[in-house]
Every structure is written in C-alpha cells, then in structure tokens.
Amino acid sequence: MTRILGISGSLRAASFNTALLRTAQGLMPEGATLEEGSIRGIPLYDADEEEAKGIPPAVERLKEQMAAADGLLLFTPEYNNSIPGVFKNAIDWTSRPASDISRIFGGKRVAVLGASPGGFGTILAQDAWLSVLRTLGTRPWYEGRLLVARAGGVFDEGGQMTDDAMRDRLKVFLAGFTAVAATRDT
C-alpha cells in the first residue's frame, strides 16, 4: 500500500485547498491512500521556545505522518503571489531539529498543487516552494502540475468539486504522482 500524506496550507474552514485535498482522497488510485495532515495548532516558530519547551505536539504529529509517508502532497494557497506564511511556518517547524531533516524530508517525493479564486491558480506559490523543497533534500515531482484557477466555480458551497474536467485532471495527477512515490527509487 502506497501512503501519501496531503497537507493543506490553509486554516480557513471553507478553504479551496482543503476541499481539493478531500476531493483527492476519493480519487486515489487502487493500492494507495491519501492521509490528511494538519497545520492547525502549530505556533509561530521561535527558537527560544524550541529550546525551552522542545517540539510542540502538533509539530511532532505532523513530522511522524510525514516520515511514515511514501510521498507528500502540498496543497498550497497563494497569498500575495507567494507561499502562505502559516504554511511555510509549519514546514519550517517540521525541519527542527535540523538533525531530523533527512528523516522527514530526505529523498521524499513531493508534489505541489493548489486552488485559488484568482485566474492564475497558484502558479507563483508553487514555484516559490521549489527552493524550499530543494533545500530540504526532497525529490520534487516535475512531471505534473495542477493549478485550480477560479476555484469558486470549481467547488460548491459545501466544498464538493463540481467541475468534471478538473476532477479528471486531478485523478490523472494523483495517479502519476502515486506511481512515482511508490517506486522509492533513488
């Protein structure tokens, strides 16, 4: 069984990216699962707090989910043409202590996708993630890209995807990424 971990970079209850993640859970290829990780409850990174109190429980949970996964999907919003601070903060925390980076990220297959109410999807946020992922030693998947633009017309008020063409694109994206994550090649 191939285990993929998906993390939405939004805390908003009606997040398009969380809706995209939950849609993806129902479209995974046979023999694969998509578990939902959460950034909720992760405090702002503060090295003094880390030294005084250690790694917060919400960070430890997310780190263990990441370590156990064969692949990682980052469902990123785009704020001001870049990475949302709350999402970057969570990933920064999961890289602590630095001695854990290779256990959590080293060689891990990662893909970035996202949904936005704007007309360009999350193209700039996705591109901004690449330098972070490279620094952490991951193996980003470049063969697929999924940008959900004008997401208000793709999801209904309850967060259900209503666009069949986008659903098909998401299914193909997930199959491609899962096949690569399942190989565990070097």
pTM of the model: 0.96
Q: Are 29 and 173 in contact (CB under 8 A)?
A: no
Q: CB–CB of 39/9 below 8 Å?
A: yes
Closest CA to 44 of 13, 105, 88, 110: 88
21: confidence class by pLDDT, cuts 50, 70, 90: very high
- Beta-strand runs (E) in 9-154: 32-37, 71-75, 109-115, 139-140, 146-148
| pLDDT, position 35 | 98
Q: What is the pLDDT of residue 144?
A: 82
Number of Cβ atoms within 10 Å of the Cβ of 102: 12
Beta strands in 9-163 (DSSP E): 32-37, 71-75, 109-115, 139-140, 146-148
Q: Report pLDDT digits (tens) over 125-181.
A: 999 999 999 999 999 999 888 999 999 999 999 999 999 999 999 999 999 999 999
Note the pLDDT of residue 9: 98
The distance from CA 79 to its chain's CA centroid, rounded to whole angstroms, is 15
Residue 90 has pLDDT above 90, yes or no: yes
Query: What integer is the mean pLDDT of 104-112?
Result: 97
> Which pLDDT band, with edges at 50, 70 and 90, does 85 fall under?
very high
DSSP state of 61: H
In the chain, what percentage of residues exceed pLDDT 70?
98
Domains of the chain: residue spans and CATH: 2-183 (3.40.50.360)
Q: Round the average pLDDT of the chain to a whole number and report it.
A: 96
| pLDDT tens sequence across 24-49 | 999 999 999 999 999 999 999 999 99
User: Predicted confidence band at 112 (pLDDT cuts at 50, 70, 90)?
Assistant: very high
- Please say if the pLDDT value at position 1 is more than 60: yes
- pLDDT at position 185 is 60
What pLDDT does 26 receive? 98
Statement: residue 186 has pLDDT above 60 = no
